[in-house]
Structure 1
Amino acid sequence: MTVHSDFRSRHLGAIGSELDEMLQAIGYDSLDALIDEAVPAGIRTGKPLDLPAARSEPDALAWLKSVMGKNRVLKSFIGQGYYGTHVPAVIQRNILENPGWYTAYTPYQAEIAQGRLEALLNFQTLITDLSGLDVANASLLDEGTAAAEAMSLALTGTPKGKVFFVSDACHPQTIEVVKTRAEPLGIQVELGDWQSFEPSACEGFFAALVQYPDTLGSVDDYSGFFAKVKEARGTAIVAADLLALTLLKPPGEFGADICVGSSQRFGVPMGFGGPHAGFMACTDKLKRKLPGRLIGVSLDARGRPGFRLALQTREQHIRRDKATSNICTAQVLLAVMASMYAVYHGAEGLKAIASQVRQKTAALASVLSSGGVKLKSERFFDTLTVEVSDADQVIAKAVDAGINLRKVDGGSVGISLDETSVFGDLALIAKVFGVECTADALVAASSDAQPSWDASLSRESAFLDQQVFNSYHTETEMLRYMKRLESKDLALNESMIPLGSCTMKLNATSEMMPLSWNEVANLHPFVPADQSEGYREMLKLLEDWLAEITGFAGVSLQPNAGSQGEYAGLLAIRRYYLSRGDKDRDVCLIPVSAHGTNPASAVMAGMRVIGVKCDDQGNIDVSDLKARIDEHREKLAALMVTYPSTHGVFEDTIVEICEAIHEAGGQVYMDGANMNAQVGLTSPGRIGADVCHLNLHKTFCIPHGGGGPGVGPIGVASQLVPFLPGHAELEAVDGVVCSAPWGSASINTISWMYIAMMGGPGLTEATQVAILNANYIARRLSSFFPILYTGNKGLVAHECIIDLRPLTEESGITVEDVAKRLMDYGYHSPTMSWPVAGTLMIEPTESESKAELDRFCDSLISIHGEIMAVAKGESDAKDNVLKNAPHPAEAVCSDDWSHPYSREQAAYPLVWLRQHKFWPAVARIDNVHGDRNLVCTCDSVEAYAEN
């Protein structure tokens, strides 16, 4: 009998006798024997990971609590894009802390993702309404990267040049991210005063970016400036504050083509920088080039409306190096929270919150002015910038009083209020500036305070008048609405999600709990360093642990998605070569099987993509690789390679491949998507890579959140350490890739807890069990579906690909039919038709038990029988359980049932489904219809449903 006394035994799905049974089923008597044959001996590390001993769940939580307790959480009035906010308790408990929401995967299978798709459509509607533009995406990574994406979007038209004007009154971190992104693309950033810049006089001008209100708090009228931008055939871009837009004229009404920003202050904690949902909205003419994900509406097979991903979703897999963005993820969980915040408060509630912030700011401005303090702007929403003789002295005095203000420069201090600000805070702030007043006096001053901006800039247009934003303002109704949406989604709390390359593993509750701690959730990313000692210690420990695991000299946690990690890694390589004066190395070799973001990221980093062939076994064709090396030797910058391969195999030639690249003077970039097959057994550094990004939302247990958040840090060899991403808050300032110095800092506590509780031996065993589980599935299914690629002795790595193409030829049943039919069995489909069309790539991870693996295999074996019934003519070729899948309850219970198969066969094909049945919310969605009749906001959904 196994004693469950440690976290390892809770995390691993197969332990004890189950583990032995699975090993016996594939012909091995121990895990070590299996690993010795599955993993090439030449890449094995041969030594255990040097990590702290595993801690129990209570001990790890206590350790992290002691570390994070070193943070000093003062009230911050720093602003600069980050603000205090009240997270409604009903949203915190039922969204942020609910595995039904945070363990779901990206909604590529729409029929079992209707809940989060509806919430994201609400988010898009929120953004389009407040921005006054036509279309919004389902979120981006943060405000800085959204601005950089807007620059790239503007460049995709037919600009006459590559000069991008950026107002010097934009947030500093946004300016730095834009500069980083612009350089490899050959874009010249012109930084200056928008009031004196003349677009028509600037040769090569193609777009302009301004902040609204600006970083110093000023509310300005950009309509005249944007008219000049249009006269010069440029694109007008606004980085806007979402809460301010409830009171201010929307950017779309004064000429903006694109609006970007952050939805953080809509009920999402600051979290020392993230994660938060950035946003982008644009005019209708730009919608088909809009980066990221777009939620649309279509019809299902029964003619009912249903939500789905639309248009360019996953465009990288189609366009690759021609893609306009490498962004393939979003911040879904945070966008859902922001949308629910808007649903809960409604338009009137949001305006009330914004008005209270504005009135308090006006009251503070009045008191300070009366006390002789000089303000730099008379037009403001929530931010005041005041002139002082010594900014450092004022900042220090504020800290002594228990608050943080913003140092703008040596003679200026910024004050930003938010919905958490109370009149007592304002009195304390005034006292810091030598002005004595009472809270009561401030209340009186705020009661009749009028907007300080010109009347022409006040919002007159309505927003959020759709039914969903006017129905759920009591906690009871809000609770039920969120529960209804949750019940439409399949997440890890329902069943295994076996997506190859996506690593949907246990996100343990103990790993998630620290996110709600005050010292984790409520720290501003730009507080003085001595207030974030706990965060810095935790992050440094995590960096050191990841360096040990990867075999690298240094790690940066700044990239806030896998795509950002790819970009940051390639950017480090580029900056390394430029530092040596080697400007000609710009060729990036990429296998044709690579993830689609790889070539897109290479182009963003200023590289030229050259494809490398794969052989019949799915491995890199070494002879073709060497031919490409010889062809581009003098200009070779990098090879991008995934290991184990994209096809789920440990390639024996990987060391030879790395050596060939190094011999030619190039660097090896390793995509860390499949790191779950490496930890403790080998490492990118041991294999020969120079840089590798890690998906903490895959290998290291950060949950996918329905399509985000993610974290994509990079580890690098010693020569690349000086070229890790910098930030104004760090010692190095070059190469900033996202807004905050440590990106989505707060969720790094999840991976910290995972490593602390597993320890080195536990992490190694997790890798071993992941490989065992994949081989167990491959062995069980091999009699029914060909296993497309295998390595030594017919073994796979941590995932396997089953080939449905022979069955499709025989029966007409497609891989999509199988994917949809799996929903009737209560499962999300494995990765469909990637990296090979007509296949399913299955990754079980180490967290699934033998019982769950067997249920999944039994489901696919049952589906095989259904396919064979079609092939033999026993089932109708067109009207069968596969072609009609999935079967929602509405269809099965309908009086109209004309199919030649029974309702029981449709809904309960296996006996265990009678114990618990997950029902798809809709029938099969018609994607083509949705793209031809694009509907991307929820106001149209209601009208759509009436037709």
Structure 2
Amino acid sequence: MTSFLPRHIGAWGEDRAAMLERVGVKSLDELMEAALPASLTRESIEGLPAARSEQEVLERLATLADKNTVRTSMIGQGYYDTVTPAAIRRNVLENPSWYTAYTPYQPEISQGRLEALVNFQTMVTDLTGMDIANSSMLDEATAVAEAMLLARRVKKARNKVLMSEDVFDATRAVVDTRADALDIELVESDFRQIDSDVAAIILQYPAASGHLPELHELETITGRAREAGALVIVAADLMALALLASPGSWGADIVAGTTQRFGVPMAGGGPHAGYLAVKDAHKRQLPGRLVGVSKDADGAVAYRLALQTREQHIRREKATSNICTAQVLLAVMASTYAVYHGPDGLHRIAQRIHNHAVSLAERLSQIGVPVTSTSFFDTIELEIPGGADRALRHLLTENITGWKVDESTIRLSCDERTSADVVDRIVRALEGSGTEADKTGIDAGYPASLERKDEYLTHPTFHRYRTETLLMRYLKSLADKDYALDRGMIPLGSCTMKLNSAIEMTPITWHGFASIHPFAPAMDRLGYLELIEELEAWLAAVTGYDAVSLQPNAGSQGELAGLLAIRGYHVSRGDKKRTVCLIPASAHGTNAASAVLAGFRVVVVGTAADGSIDMGDLEAKIAEHRDVLGAIMITYPSTHGIYEDSVGDVCSRVHAAGGQVYIDGANLNALVGVARPGEFGGDVSHLNLHKTFAIPHGGGGPGVGPVAARSHLAPFLPSHPLTDNHTTGSAAAKFPGAGAVSQAPYGSAGILPISFAYILLMGGEGLRMATQSAVLAANYIATRVDKVLPVLYRGPGGLVGHECIIDLRPLREETGISVDDVAKRLIDYGFHAPTMSFPVAGTLMIEPTESEDLGEIDRLCDALLQIHDEARSVYEGVWPPDDNPLVNAPHTAASALVGEWSHPYSRATAVYPALTDEVLTNPARLSAATAGKYWPPVRRIDGPYGDRNLVCACPPIESYREQ
């Protein structure tokens, strides 16, 4: 059997020996004994599988996929079968240039992704009739919940929200959870009366039942809301909006939903890109990431993330939301679907869906099945007194699943894959469900008043790429602008960018995983359920906790779920006053934002000089808030990249005061197989499967953030009211005391096979070795650069954890070269910059991961040391402070090769800084050395200009002609 370990771990044999020698230890085990506090270390973790070969893992996953039964789904409820064009599946979803990229915080090397996201934002604003949209949300239900919180921020003095009774059940469940945590009064309403204390109203368009009212009815409701000073939130189906009047045209202020219907498989519930769009007045309250148009140093059009001061990494507890992971890869798929089909194609698809729904309603009515729907887009309701279960059984004989509303009512939702044959099969299955007396004809469709009359997707981007040849070339051109793991190392601290192997990615497009509805009968999801049960058990073993929920579909949602579990536990014990959450000053911004969204008040704990928690300040804060202390959130190893000796003491002090300990799993890649947070004091943690367990970042999402807890918190982990073809009316049996945090019961189930495969390929010993190798790589970098670029913090044994912080502040003081200059100059050397100025301003946080080989690690160290020397050249007067390779970085091909060169350094120094004079003067060697050069598409981008002149949709074609 060929082991997978040498495929995943980068340094072996002589290379590993050289790294160990440099660090000053003889083995990986000795390294961990020196780095970790002795009380934490474990030699092995029970409950993890033995490593399997690639073929064995594929066979195991194929068996699980075969246990899922793929039927024709008519369930709807926000999830619909769709057709993913092969050109999009192959060129985006299965392309490492797209799925291994990181969040576009370095915009100069992210122009392809950013352009695709601008396409997404344009698509959403055009279809919804809004002014501005963000670059994706996690799913429809959380998008609606975020819309509710947005409205509350705008209407600060109001705490009531009215919601239509005809919304998707999963949306109601998530909104309920979020409202309850913040004491928002959520009331079902028909909107006949809207009082002055209402912040917003929420309605679904089309409604969950499929119903579409007349335009004047919608305008009457929005008029009432306006008179009462309430905002109008609409959960809208984007596909329906290809035919129907946009919510913006009849009075909506905020529109939310999902783009799943735009070529993204149902995948057991996700991942899918939600969306959120608003009127211009609310743009600074819009949560999530927003891509804006700016310009670079030469005046060329360039994209960047805009208005970042709204986001959690800057605003912390005052942020607009705790969202960190978005759904970029899925947003790219959805926007490319719109680019490929264009407005005419979308209109045809939507019209075909509607026509099949009309045909189905008419034919069922003709055979005596009572159809209560006459005004709809794709969903019809059937009244079969006492016979809903019988009707669903009859549909199963034709391999079709529907949705049970109650004992007498079912719904059927048509989608892109609905055909005349499917309509025939439904009619055949339900033929005995009607009566002669009910045989009537109906006049079905949607009101003429709702017909869309305005144009959408008018930008040339949505008209150019009709042939597959043109689309392939467009996607290739976008990918070529970006830097992803398929080009080189992305050494980001706090965001582990390890190998996302092809073998792990392979199963996600298999029919047995990709084509399952999350609310399909349990008997159709047996493979998924078995995979989920095993994966939960493995994650519990890794962390030392007793229970795991896979529902949170991002790390931010995992944080929220863990904090809600703590809150629920305290409330169940009558400790409603325990609402203070202690958070170290160095913590991730999501921690503070999540705590606020869970109903906690944040109290900051200071940091000691060595980067650890200031124990004196901790004791003072505990003493001050002892009676109201609910929790502490800590990251281990710390955000400063060290294994703190005091972690056990921190946990015991908080427990002694009656609080619970939340351990952020962001740095779990330094613990897997060597220590378990559930054993050294944690009560609950979230895990990032998109970091530690090999799910790729996808350019800023998807992610999965499972939450794990000890037994006393297990009853308060996420639950879900939807299962097995219908609404149970109460929370799921597994964790009955909590609410839903994501739209689907198991979140982004479609990418769980990746982490399942990763654990099975690595085995328990392999996971341990991966952790050790990551820690070795970080310490090797620290020893190589420390004498020139000081490492800011060190833990036990003078070692760092799996990441290290390089302090550039002395360099700035001496030479004037900033952390931004160093980050942009690294692009010229062919690197994605490490994490900038977090958790300490003026520093770089570097995490090499276990997947990088010694050659690539040395290349990074060499680049950092050479950049230091370049900065010294500025200090020594070789280059002026305002015209040198660092402040002018990055250098594009055009800036270096076209026109007169007026800089005091050479063109070669600008674009080939790592090459020696010997190589530069030898044509044969030069040709080989420059073959893999990455050329950034734009120069340094002017961020403030983009915020002052905010444009978040496709720029007019004239702007490109001008440049």
1:753 Cα deviation from its structure 2 partner: 0.3
* DSSP-derived class of the 2:308 partner: coil
Secondary structure at the aligned position of 1:319 is classed as helix
Residues 369 and 433 in structure 2, CA contact (< 8 A), matched pair in contact too: no
Which residue matches 1:458?
Answer: 451
Paired AA for residue 823 in structure 1: I
1:663 matches 2:659: no
Using a 3 Å threshold, how does the CA distance of structure 1 residues 314 and 256 change in structure 2: closer, same or farther?
closer
Q: 2:886 corresponds to which residue?
A: 882
Could you tell me how far apart the structure 1 residues matched to 2:102 and 2:120 are?
A: 18
Classify 1:484/1:714 alpha carbon distance in 2 versus 1 (closer, same or farther; 3 Å): same
How far does the alpha carbon of each residue in 1:676-733 deviate from its partner, in whole angstroms, 9 at most, with x for none?
0000110111111000000000000000000000000010001001111000223245
* In the alignment, structure 1 residue 471 sits paired with structure 2 residue 468: no
Aligned to 2:380: 384
Is contact 2:806-2:844 (8 Å) kept? Answer: yes
Aligned-residue CA RMSD in angstroms?
A: 1.5
Deviation at 1:944, TM superposition (A): 6.9
CA distance in 2, matches of 1:674, 1:278: 27
Other structure's SS at 1:42 match: coil
Q: CA deviation at 1:939?
A: 4.2
User: Contact (CA 8 Å) 2:504, 2:755: kept in 1 or not?
Assistant: yes
Find the counterpart in structure 1 of residue 305 from structure 2. Answer: 309
**1:574 alignment counterpart:** 567
Q: Distance in 1 between matches of 2:426 and 2:168?
A: 23
Three-state SS of the structure 1 residue aligned to 2:67 is: coil
For 1:286 and 1:941, the matched residues in 2 are separated by: 27
SS, match of residue 394 in structure 1: helix
Please give the per-residue CA displacement for 1:766-786, whole angstroms capped at 9, x wherever unaligned: 000000000000111112101
Of stretches 727-736 and 617-626 in structure 1, the one that deviates more from structure 2 is 727-736
CA 1:245/1:942 → structure 2, altered by over 3 Å: closer, same or farther? farther
Deviations 1:380-434 (A, max 9, x none): 1111111112111111111122110111111111010111111110011112221
Residue type of the alignment partner of 1:664 = A
Change (3 A) 1:559 1:145: same
For the residue of structure 2 that corresponds to 1:668, the secondary structure is: strand
**Matched AA of 2:282:** L
Q: 2:232 aligns with which of 230, 233, 236?
A: 236
Matches within 5 A, 1:612-623: 612-623=605-616
1:350 to 341, 346, 349: 346
**What per-residue deviation string (whole Å, max 9, x for no partner) do you get for residues 605-636 of structure 1?**
00111010001111100111011111111111
The alpha-carbon deviation at position 274 of structure 1 amounts to: 0.1
CA contact (8 A) 1:169 1:193 kept: no
Q: Which amino acid aligns with 2:464?
A: S
What is the CA deviation profile of residues 325-347 of structure 1, one whole-angstrom value per residue up to 9, with x for unaligned ones?
Answer: 11122100000000000000000
The 2-side partners of 1:682 and 1:52 are apart by 17
* Counterpart pick for 2:930 among 911, 914, 922: 914
2:167 is matched with: 170
Distance 2:308 2:112 in 1: 21
How many Å apart are 1:27 and its aligned residue?
A: 1.3
- Residue of structure 2 equivalent to 1:368: 364
Give 1:913-932 correspondences, 5 Å limit.
913-932=929-948
C-alpha distance in structure 1 between counterparts of 2:491 and 2:705, whole Å: 21
Residue 17 (structure 2) aligned to one of 5, 20, 30: 20
CA shift, 1:554, in A, is: 0.2
Which aligned pairs between 1:466-505 and structure 2 lie closer than 5 A? 466-505=459-498
- Of 56, 60, 73, the match for 1:59: 56
How far apart are residue 48 of structure 1 and its match?
3.4
For structure 2, the residue ranges without an aligned partner over 5 or more in a row are: 435-440, 724-731, 916-927
- Take 2:840 and 2:929, find their aligned partners in 1: how far apart are those partners? 31
Of residues 261, 267, 277 in structure 2, which corresponds to 1:265? 261
Q: Aligned partners of 2:879 and 2:959: how far apart in 1?
A: 39
Inter-CA distance 944–930: structure 2 relative to 1 (3 Å threshold): farther
Aligned residues: 930
- Within-5 A mapping of 1:144-543: 144-194=141-191, 197-200=192-195, 204-220=197-213, 221=215, 222-312=218-308, 315-389=311-385, 390-434=387-431, 452-543=445-536
| Range moving further from structure 2, 83-92 or 888-897 | 888-897
Residue 864 (structure 1) aligns with:
868
| Separation in 2, partners of 1:314, 1:814 | 24
Shift of 1:161: 2.2
- CA apart distance, 1:806: 0.6
Aligned to 2:825: 821
Letter in 2 for 1:114: Q
Which amino acid counterpart does residue 507 of structure 1 have in structure 2? N
Bigger Cα displacement from structure 2, 160-169 vs 548-557: 160-169
Aligned residue type for 2:389: D
Contact 2:492–2:847 under 8 Å retained in 1: yes
Secondary structure, aligned partner of 1:780: helix
Name the counterpart of 2:840: 836
Mark the runs of 5 or more structure 1 residues left unpaired by the alignment.
438-444
- 3-state SS, counterpart of residue 588 of structure 1: strand
Separation in 2 of the partners of 1:939 and 1:224?
A: 35
Answer yes or no: is 1:39 the counterpart of 2:25: no
**What TM-score results when the alignment is normalised by the length of structure 1?**
0.97
Q: Pairwise mapping of residues 58-137 of structure 1 onto structure 2 (< 5 A)?
A: 58-137=55-134
TM-score w.r.t. structure 2 length?
A: 0.95
Report whether the alignment pairs 1:718 with 2:722: no
**Aligned position for 2:925:** none
Cα separation, 2, equivalents of 1:782 and 1:737: 44
Match of 2:922 in 1: none
Distance 1:137 1:945 in 2: 27
Asked if structure 2 preserves the Cα contact closer than 8 Å seen for 1:293 and 1:329, the reply is: no
Question: 1:253 Cα shift?
Answer: 0.3
User: Residue 314 and residue 102 in structure 1: after superposition, are their counterparts in 2 closer, same or farther (change >3 A)?
Assistant: farther
Kept in 2, the 8 Å contact 1:430–1:436? The answer is no
What does residue 642 of structure 1 align with? 635
Q: Which residue of 1 aligns with 2:920?
A: none
How far apart in 2 are the matches of 1:391 and 1:129? 39
- The letter of the residue matching 2:549 is S
Point out 4+ residue stretches in structure 1 off by more than 4 angstroms: 941-945
Q: Residue 924 of structure 2 corresponds to which residue in structure 1?
A: none
Question: How far apart are residue 913 of structure 1 and its match?
Answer: 4.8
CA contact (8 A) 1:147 1:174 kept: yes
> Do the aligned partners of residues 946 and 424 (structure 1) sit closer, same or farther apart at CA in structure 2, a change above 3 Å counting?
same
Say which is worse superposed, 921-930 or 855-864, in terms of deviation: 855-864
Distance, in Å, in 1 between the alignment partners of 2:324 and 2:494 is 14
Letter of the 2:324 counterpart = C
Amino acid in structure 2 at the alignment position of 1:672: G
Select between 693-702 and 725-734 the one with higher mean Cα deviation.
725-734
Distance in 2, Cα, partners of 1:82 & 1:556: 21
Residue 793 and residue 827 in structure 1: after superposition, are their counterparts in 2 closer, same or farther (change >3 A)? same
Listed as ranges, the matches of 1:700-779 within 5 Å are 700-728=693-721, 729=723, 730-731=732-733, 732=735, 734-779=738-783
Aligned partners of 2:309 and 2:315 also within 8 Å: no
Conserved? CA contact 1:592–1:611, under 8 Å: yes
Contact 2:308 2:314 in 1 (8 A): no
Distance in 2 (alpha carbons) for counterparts of 1:211 and 1:482:
34
| Mean CA deviation greater in 388-397 or 881-890 | 388-397
Which residue of structure 2 aligns with residue 442 of structure 1? none
Whole-angstrom distance in 2 between the partners of 1:85 and 1:157:
36
Candidates 622, 631, 636, aligned match of 1:629: 622
Q: CA deviation digits over 1:31-59, x for unaligned, max 9?
A: 11111101110111344343111000110
- Output the amino acid matched with 2:803: E
- For the residues of structure 1 that align with 2:958 and 2:255, how far apart are their CA atoms? 26
User: Aligned partners of 1:10, 1:700: CA distance in 2, in Å?
Assistant: 15
In the alignment, is the contact (CA less than 8 A) between 1:289 and 1:312 conserved in 2? no
735-744 or 216-225, which deviates more = 216-225
Equivalences for residues 598-617 of structure 1 within 5 A: 598-617=591-610
Residue 312 of structure 1, CA deviation? 2.9
**Matches of 2:7 and 2:775, distance apart in 1:** 18
